[in-house]
Amino acid sequence: MRTQVVIVGSGPSGLLLGQLLATIGVATVILERVDRDHLLSRVRAGVLEQGTLELLDEAGAGARLKAEGLPHEGISLAFDDRLHRIDLAALTGGKHVMVYGQTEVTRDLVDQREAAGLTTIYQASHVEPHGFDGEAPYVTFEKDGVIKRIDCDFIAGCDGFHGICRASVPAGAIRTYERAYPFGWLGILAEVPPADHELIYANHPRGFALCSMRSARRSRYYVQCRLDDDIGDWSDGRFWDELRRRLPPEAAAKVVTGPSFEKSIAPLRSFVAEPLRFGRLFLVGDAAHIVPPTGAKGLNLAASDVRYLFWGLREFYRDKSPAGLEAYSGRALARVWKAVRFSWWMTMMLHRFPDTDDFAQRIQEAELDYLVHSQAASAALAENYVGLPY
């Protein structure tokens, strides 16, 4: 079997790249480890930058997003028992973000791919990229007990943090940078109206809390927890009590409680691998970098990589020029590192660390107070939150 680009992984990165390439007639095959139902059941974050929206639209997957997404023109920071709104639109010349779950983004892209009759091979095991340091790369995998091979021009490693593509690169050719944070986020989904019409990021001496949403009837909430916390110890009642204790009274009073239908603990990590290109293999999205969710950048960074790689492949196929592919790693990483910096900074400012004593708590509050009262500092936050330019 032969195709132009083999895409390993059918998350948002792989699906979006596949749809964009389809718009210019470049053939792709996606190899995915899990089955379709599993893929569509994962719960992830849900804040999309305008640049991400534009790219999804260009890929033909923007219709439901435009109809059902919730445009947000501001966020609130909560500390010292009060809410402080950051007016994203006013501070960025009218930009906003869209709240729309990543699960729905994935579903829209899968629907689009299926409607176009493009090939995705689910439950492909033992996927292995080969020969990417030469002119004739290929990928092998096992499906239904049979080993198969696909020859191609390029391999896109869109297979997430635990994928095979990054692991296939010779150790001496790659460098990684990492920061693990000493806490997790306990997140729940519940069929209740959100506490506020915008997101609330709360710094509290008991730990961070976040009020988010999926729709006018579905809320997504998080509280900072210990990494070794047992999810079984977090009844819904305990969760709601803890959330309300960490919010200012005016927000706590508006929290509507109800049974959770999803509850999980996620660790927080910053990670970057460099470079993103190894001959004819490209790393994209979570396969190359992870950010803590505090800045809502994970999916947006995946889309950012996809945009640069798409430009490079378009230049290669249309203009017969390798320049865009050669520039991919440098261009993508420049934007990645700025989002890594922003996510790290939001994380440091909003969470309680093991060494956050009363002094450190006051320093965090002073930084937040400065941030919400200085036009320059608010504008810097807003500019990063809505997404830096490409």
Instruction: Give residues in contact with ligand APR (CB under 6 A).
Output: 8-14, 31-34, 39, 44-45, 102, 124, 127, 158-160, 162-164, 285-287, 298-299, 302
Q: How far apart are CA 90 and CA 247, in angstroms?
A: 25
Find, among 207, 219, 223, the residue nearest to 256 by Cα: 219
Give how many residues touch ligand PHB by CB under 6 A. Answer: 9
Which of ligand APR, ligand PHB, none binds 32 (CB below 5-8 Å, type-dependent)? Answer: ligand APR
**Which of 374, 389, 390 lies closest to 91, judged by CA?**
374
Q: How far apart are CA 190 and CA 156, in angstroms?
A: 36
- Could you tell me which residues are beta bridge partners of residue 277? 282
- Give kind and range of the element (H or E) at residue 242: helix 236-246
| Residue from the set 212, 219, 260, 364 that interacts with ligand PHB by CB under 6 A | 212
Q: Hey, what are 107's tokens?
A: 């579903």
Indicate which single residue of 17, 47, 70, 88 sits in contact with ligand PHB (rule: CB under 6 A).
47
Closest approach of ligand APR to the CB of residue 163, in Å: 4
Is 100 among the residues known to form the active site?
A: no
Report the helix count and the strand count for the chain, using DSSP H and E: 12, 20
Which is the catalytic residue, given 100, 181, 201, 328? 201
Closest CB to ligand APR among residues 13, 260: 13
Pick the piece of the chain touching ligand PHB (CB under 6 A) from 42-50, 107-115, 157-165, 312-320.
Answer: 42-50
- Minimum CB–partner distance for residue 191 and ligand PHB (Å): 15
**H-helix or E-strand spanning residue 278:** strand 277-278
Are the beta carbons of 269 and 176 closer than 8 angstroms? Answer: no
Q: Is 385 a catalytic residue?
A: yes
Point out the catalytic residue in the list 293, 308, 328, 351: 293
Shortest distance in whole angstroms from residue 381 CB to ligand APR: 20
Does residue 162 carry a catalytic annotation?
no
**Which residues, other chains included, contact 111 with Cβ-Cβ below 8 Å and sequence gap of 6+?**
61
Task: Find the catalytic residue in 12, 72, 221, 308.
Answer: 72
Does 373 qualify as catalytic in the annotation? no
In whole angstroms, the minimum distance from the beta carbon of 366 to ligand APR comes to 31
Q: Which one of ligand PHB, ligand APR, none is in contact with 242 (Cβ closer than 5 to 8 A by kind)? A: none
Distances (CA, A) of 101 to 28, 171, 214, 216: 26, 35, 6, 13
Q: Among ligand APR, ligand PHB, none, what does residue 47 contact (CB within 5–8 Å per kind)?
A: ligand PHB
Q: Are 336 and 301 in contact (CB under 8 A)?
A: yes
Catalytic residue among 100, 308, 328, 385: 385
Query: Do residues 32 and 121 make contact, with C-beta atoms less than 8 angstroms apart?
Result: yes
**From 5, 17, 45, 340, residue interacting with ligand PHB (rule: CB under 6 A):** 45
DSSP 338: H
Residues 6+ apart with CB under 8 A from 100: 46, 48, 65, 68, 69, 70
Residue nearest to ligand APR (CB): 11
Alpha-carbon distance of 230 to 217, in angstroms, equals 28
The partner in contact with residue 212, picked from ligand APR, ligand PHB, none with C-beta cut-offs of 5 to 8 angstroms by kind, is ligand PHB
Query: Which residue of 105, 296, 302, 382 would you call a contact of ligand PHB, by CB under 6 A?
Result: 296
CB of 10: closest distance to ligand APR in angstroms?
A: 5
Widest CA span in the chain: 63
Q: Does 302 bind ligand PHB (CB under 6 A)?
A: no
Say whether 72 is catalytic: yes
Chain residues 218-257 in contact with ligand PHB, contact rule CB under 6 A: 220
Q: Report the sign of the C-alpha dihedral through residues 27, 32, 37, 39, in that order.
A: negative
**3 state SS of 102:** helix
Q: Which residue from 230, 197, 236, 234 is spatially nearest to 215, judged by alpha carbons?
A: 197
- Per CB under 6 A, the list member of 19, 28, 294, 329 interacting with ligand PHB is 294
Residue 293 or 312: which CB sits closer to ligand PHB? Answer: 293
Catalytic positions are: 72, 201, 293, 297, 385
Q: Which residues bind ligand PHB (CB under 6 A)?
A: 45-47, 199, 212, 220, 293-294, 296
